[in-house]
Amino acid sequence: MKSDSSSYCFPNLLEAFFTVVVLNMVEYLMNSIIWSAGRSAGLQTMAIASIGRVLANGLVFTVLLHHGKLTYRSLLHDSVDSWRTTIGRFFVPIVLMTPALLVTMSVLEVGVGQFFPWTGTRDDAREVYVNGGLGLIVLTCAIAPLLEEMLFRGVMLRSFLRQYPEGTAIAHSAAVFGLAHLNVYQFALAFGLGLLIGKLYAATRSLLPGILIHACYNTAVVIVALKSPFVLTGESLLEIWPTSWWFGALVLGGVGAGWLVKSVDAQRRVPANTANDNA
């Protein structure tokens, strides 16, 4: 289905890339401003980075929402279904899918590494999170999923769906999401995750399912890194997990995926049912 592109929508694809650049610059500026105060207060580096990201995104979102005449509520959940119902509908299937998603993305990352060999020092995943401290864990598991979904799906994909056919819009938003991670390994993972989350947003018009997937996936990455140390971009979970573990993860993922499809269908029926009730 081709969207109506007769009226101007912000951002288009080029403007989306520009928005990411501006956001990174504002985040760098915020971190520079609060760095001294944060260190004086005894905060770790990643805790300061988390605060800087929240402040930068808050400033940029304020401008974007004012420009688009949107509210945070409409940005997060533009659906006739309540947010509680939506979370309840999607939480369990997403949790079931997460281990399989983790295995799939791990294999994908190592596969990309075969075509683009890592030339720098390979970091132990556990050391990355231990050294980053609580600030990095909170940034990874909570702050990044919320803020990134608000930007890449809530602002960008929402606009793209008004300008391009649905498949093109989802691919564009996933590509911008991937490029924002600034390396080829993270691009592949973010692009794949962005396609899944983008499809969910297009079907539900709610950021909540995408935030759940993003947060569950990132949290699972942190847990695996702390409990089953592996070398970033060098080892897949197929290598470090027993066969029964990753096979079980794939089975659970299949169950979760089927449940997720049914949940999306149920969410789509809500507007029709509401219209019938009103009639």
How far from 243 is each of 239, 240, 247, CA to CA, in Å? 9, 9, 6
Name the more confident of 41 and 149: 149
| Side chain identity at residue 7, one-letter code | S
Distances in Å between the Cα of 188 and the Cα atoms of 17, 25, 128, 146 are 17, 24, 20, 20
pLDDT at position 268: 77
Overall pTM surpassing 0.85 (yes/no) = yes
Instruction: List the domain boundaries for the chain.
Output: 79-270
- Could you say which DSSP state residue 241 is in? S
Per-residue pLDDT at 276 exceeds 50: no
| Cα gap 62→30, rounded to integer Å | 15
Alpha-helix residue ranges (DSSP H) falling in the chain = 13-40, 45-68, 72-76, 83-115, 125-138, 144-149, 158-163, 166-179, 184-204, 208-227, 237-240, 243-278
Q: Specify the 3-state DSSP secondary structure of 231.
A: strand
Q: What are phi and psi of 72, to 5 degrees?
A: -60, -35
Mean pLDDT of 165-174: 97
Is residue 279 very low, low, confident or very high in pLDDT (cuts 50, 70, 90)?
very low
For residue 242, pLDDT over 90 is answered with no
